[in-house]
Structure 1
Amino acid sequence: MHEYPLSYADHVATREVFASMQPTFKMPRRNTIKKDILEMYEVEKPNINKMMDANNSRVAITTDMWTSNQKKGYMVVTAHYNDSSWNLEMRVYLKLCF
């Protein structure tokens, strides 16, 4: 929402705020968050590929690029399609461009 970098999780004040709200919560470090995101991507990628292979409808693909406040470039690819029950579905792939 605010385009904060993952290093935000390592700021002392951030950790103090989370600890004051829930003392038993262990705030993960930025490297842990990054690792978890990449692991989720690796798990979901084959699932999405399998789902798209089974899809009999056409797929509309759109792209968008922008630069964050931190001057990092991003690209998103969005796929819209109808499932077998004619429900509109959407899948998003976000790529950080260095």
Structure 2
Amino acid sequence: MIIMQELPLSFVDYDGFRDVLDFLAPEFNDMRRNTLKSEVMKLYEVEKSRTMMMLDENTSRVALAVDMWTSNQKKGYMVITAHFIDNTWKLRSRI
């Protein structure tokens, strides 16, 4: 949710979010900014490895698209998206 909605990591410190989290998943009651950052970086590494394996197994060509934008925090971002057709003829896109 935090990644998809581009929320700040401090979102986990908000009282309302902590109340909802405690109600839905009490086992995550100790979630803090640094814990969240660590989990996000682990997820990044897993997805990076999956993407690299997909590209290594790919026998077709890859089209790259580049996009740039500015966040609400006035920070500039660039994203590179790889589009390709996998070996089962399914169109794939990986950031």
Change (3 A) 1:23 1:80: closer
- Output the CA distance in 2 between the equivalents of 1:17 and 1:49: 36
- Tell me what 1:41 maps to: 44
After superposition, what is the alpha-carbon deviation per residue over 1:15-58, rounded to whole angstroms, capped at 9, x for unaligned? 12433x43725242121111111112222323321221221101
Point out the structure with the larger helix share. Answer: 2
SS of the equivalent of 1:79 reads strand
Change (3 A) 1:83 1:33: same
Q: Which runs of 5+ in 1 are unaligned?
A: 93-98
Give the TM-score, by structure 1 length: 0.76
The CA deviation at 1:71 is: 1.7
Q: Which runs of 5+ in 2 are unaligned?
A: none
Deviates more, 1:70-79 or 1:50-59: 70-79
Identity %: 49
- Output the CA distance in 2 between the equivalents of 1:86 and 1:12: 47
SS of the equivalent of 2:55 reads helix
- RMSD over equivalenced CA pairs, Å: 2.0
CA contact (8 A) 1:63 1:78 kept: yes
SS of the equivalent of 2:26 reads coil
Change (3 A) 1:51 1:22: closer
Point out the structure with the larger strand share. Answer: 1
Change (3 A) 1:4 1:47: closer
Change (3 A) 1:53 1:73: same
Show structure 1 runs of 4+ deviating over 3 A. none
Give the TM-score, by structure 2 length: 0.78
